[in-house]
Chains A and B, each alone.
Chain A
Amino acid sequence: MRSKGKKVNYAKWGYIFIFPFFASFFIFSFIPLMDTIRYSFYEYYRSGIKEIGPNFIGIENYLNLLKSDMLKYAENTLILWIIGFIPQIVIALVLAEWFVDARLKIHGTQFFKVVIYLPNLIMASAFAMLFFTLFSTSGPINAILMSLGWIKAPIDFMGSILGTRALVGLMNFLMWFGNTTIMLMAAIMGISPDIFEASEIDGCNSVQRFFKITLPLIRPILAYTLINSIIGGLQMFDVPQILTNGQGNPDRTSMTLIMFLNSHLKSKNYGMAGALSVYLFIVSAVLCFVVYRMINNEDLNGAKTVAKKNGR
């Protein structure tokens, strides 16, 4: 009896130690989250410095959003994300493969790993500001191109849809490819070297090795990177906001969903902003669920196959 009682006492400490997290989560995340959902059913904004509402209006905010340009902004967000993500994942895969490959004998891999991670440390807004100045019509990039004689008149990067989107994509690529590289390196290093050795003995060349061994085995991590990046992409805000001065120029083609949310917050339109947040929440939740399923199923299978092969 006594010993049993003691065991229960130990468990108590576990709860005590995790309590602060749950308390702070409840106060700082859960209550605001519920409030956001609640206000999404209200008309609640500020006109000048007078508050209007909150008046309950049912799902009118949701319907109004569907009638607005929300889907167009979702499309913008997706396009901006793809422009950044494709080069990011390709370059990251190549770099990860090179850095891990012992036979390439790349010197100073540590140094490069730090360097490629560096852009991620700069604040996105500062980065956007820098690009805004670099690529402005009378900025240094145009000056360099002109003095090289490559172009005759300055290019109006931020005045064209392609230019603005490409710049946003470039910035997202530069900021995140280092992070992805390091994640993929960890994944590749997790593959047992025995497999690589065995494949070499069987006469496998490096291209085959990459496509037939490395890629399939890091698939769970790739999927994780992808979904994570989509969720991050959904929340894309600071780069296009700063680059286009919050307007999503030209013709609102680089207006992302969160910039749309932000422009509602200018008039403190909590109702409309809340409804938009709920939409975003649902999309993110679905994506999270997908990645959860993917990791749980496929990682287990992958691990099992590896374990079997290692088992001997």
Chain B
Amino acid sequence: MKIKGGYEMKKRLVSVLLAAAVIAGTLAGCGSEPKQSSNADTNADAGNAEGASNAEDVDTAGEEEGKIINIYCWNNEFRERVELVYSEVKETSADGTVTTLNDGTEIHWIINPNQDGVYQQKLDEALLNQANAADDDKVDIFLSETDYVNKYTDAEADVAMPLTELGINPDTDLADQYSFTKVTASDMNGVQRGSTWQCCPGLLVYRRDIAKDVFGTDDPEEIGAKVKDWDTMKATAEELKAKGYYTFASYADTFRLYGNSIDAPWVAEGDTAIKVDQKIMNWVNDSKEWLDAGYFDPTVKGQWNADWNQAMGSASKVFAFLFPAWGIDFTLSPNWDGESGAWAVTNPPQEYNWGGSYVHACKGTDNPQHVKDIILAVTANKDNLLKISKEKTDFTNTQSSMREAAADDANFSSEFLGGQNPFKYFAPVAENIVIAPLSAYDQGCVELIQNTFGDYFQGNVDYDKAKANFETAIKERYPEISEVVWPD
């Protein structure tokens, strides 16, 4: 027999537990549901509102295109450019998931973060279901980054439509593009399967106030002379250190300069061994030396994290970043909390390109006409691209317009860069870019080598252990990789 108090207690306990379980259930539900349902809701809302007013237009247009264009991408970058230059765009819903065109067709933006391979996972799922999906659920356009563009333009995989099938002739319609961007977007038979609006020559972006403090000038020409190659750069880094500044935020910042100028692909066509290039090992050795010497901010580990973002703020002691145009526009500018005009660009210690988002038409699209229009509008039309350059400071993919931009200080000076015209520095770098040979494994290799050697830089493991860790991690990521060959 239990006394009444105890029994009462237990009952209360049970009710508390039940309540907790219910709350936990609802919370768990909240976590996963909105992604799907909010899409559906907003789509439905937008659909109702638009459907009523635009029903006529669609009928008169009389095309047999689907009403929904699904675009897979990893952030808002492409959406903002489409909104800017595609003349058919009418409006975008407040949450940015649906853009309505003048004829009532809706663009649905399916956004998944790039990090950790999430974007590719989701995209791969969608592509494998492409054949069985209902017309309105089919992927129509997807984007890929230089790191893994190869995976999708693969001729055998055949998921990205050759541009000629869309009615775009790369030789005439895209004649003005930088040729290396066309090579990157082609499969091994030379069939172009994607197109890009941007071309990503990288520059050195530095803080004017720090430059004045240390060197007594913030003039891009003079600073450019101080960072023109790695040896000069090192002497400059020593000067910065003497005044208590860091040259770069992290060892990952310099990676692209080495990593995108490798001589041979990470994995040769048809091979299963990863060949680590000597340039990568140079990066490892130089980074260790620089970090130990105090030229990097030791609290910043890698890129794309909160510490790195903070290093771009006004309280940071970091002198410079190595960024292509999108980095200045999309990463540096949002993280900068001081007044605009505090940064300036100059030539990097080594010419490099970094990234570039390719736009692909997906095999099996039910909106080929729209897809073609969008690709042409965003990646081939000189005026449009010039407009993107003007509004978004992207370095865009038409050679003639970029030469104009480089000379046109009045229109292309950037407020963020204190009135400097960055195109003057971008253009020469772009013309000299030789893109590093690509393989389908680039992204995993780049991500994992930075990560495993990060431990080495911070002194957690020795050099050989870092190598072993890379081998373990890469084989986990890509089971078909049989061995890793290190340079002597």
Contacts and interface: CB of A to CB of B under 8 A. Distances in A.
Nearest to A160: B460
A133 B305 CA distance: 10
Contact of A48 (B13, B151, B469): B151
Contacts of B440: 47-48
Interface in A255-293: 260, 263-264, 266-267, 269, 272
Given A52-B480, A192-B2, A193-B6, A121 B20 contact: yes
Nearest to B7: A189
Contacts of B17: 182
A245 interface: yes
A161 interface: yes
Nearest to A137: B299
B479 A250 contact: no
Interface residues of A, number: 51
B156 A121 contact: no
B139 interface: no
A48 B444 CA distance: 11
Contacts of B5: 102
A161 B116 CA distance: 22
B27 interface: yes
B49 interface: no
B157 interface: yes
A87 interface: no
A121 B299 contact: no
A185 B24 contact: no
A249 interface: yes
A35 interface: no
B451 A267 contact: no
B479 A186 contact: no
- For B152, B157, B299, B461, the residue with the greatest tally of chain A CB atoms inside 10 Å of its CB is B299
B307 A46 contact: no
A301 interface: no
Contact of B477 (A50, A113, A137, A263): A263
Contacts of B12: 110
A214 B23 CA distance: 32
Contacts of B465: 251
B409 interface: no
A302 interface: no
B16 A250 contact: no
Contact of B157 (A50, A110, A113): A50
Interface in B443-488: 451, 454-455, 458, 460-461, 465, 469, 472-473, 476-480
A294 B5 CA distance: 30
Nearest to A126: B31
A252 interface: yes
Contacts of A46: 124
Interface in A88-135: 102, 110, 113-114, 117, 120-123, 132-133
Nearest to A185: B13
A44 to B, nearest CB: 10
Interface in B336-367: none
Contact of A159 (B10, B27, B157, B460): B460
A46 B440 CA distance: 12
* Interface secondary structure of B, over-half rule: helix
Nearest to B316: A138
Contacts of A235: none
Contacts of A263: 473, 476-477
B151 A123 contact: no
Contacts of A192: 2
Interface in B303-359: 305-307, 310
Contacts of A272: 479
Given A120-B24, A123-B28, A251-B465, A45 B127 contact: no
Contact of A138 (B124, B151, B299): B299
B458 A252 contact: no
Contact of B10 (A117, A189, A310): A189
Contacts of B9: 189
A138 B9 CA distance: 46
Nearest to A49: B157
Given A48-B151, A123-B31, A249 B16 contact: no
Contact of A267 (B20, B152, B454, B478): B478
Contacts of A133: 306
Nearest to A249: B455
Contacts of A117: 16, 20
Interface string A233-263: 0000000000001110111100000001001
A229 interface: no
B154 interface: yes
Contacts of B469: 251-252
Contacts of B307: 136-138
Contacts of A69: 472
Given A48-B440, A117-B20, A264-B476, A245 B116 contact: yes
A298 interface: no
Interface string A30-57: 0000000000000001111110100000
Contacts of B190: none
Interface of B: 1-3, 5-6, 9-10, 12-13, 16-17, 20, 23-24, 27-28, 31, 116-117, 121, 124, 127-128, 151-152, 154, 156-157, 159, 298-301, 305-307, 310, 440, 451, 454-455, 458, 460-461, 465, 469, 472-473, 476-480
6 contacts: A48-B154, A69-B472, A133-B306, A186-B10, A245-B305, A267-B479
Given A137-B300, A249-B454, 11 more contacts: A48-B440, A102-B5, A117-B20, A121-B27, A133-B306, A154-B299, A159-B458, A160-B460, A189-B13, A250-B455, A251-B460
Please provide the 8 A-B residue pairs with the shortest distance between their CB atoms, ordered closest to farther: A137-B299, A250-B460, A48-B151, A263-B476, A251-B461, A45-B479, A49-B157, A48-B440
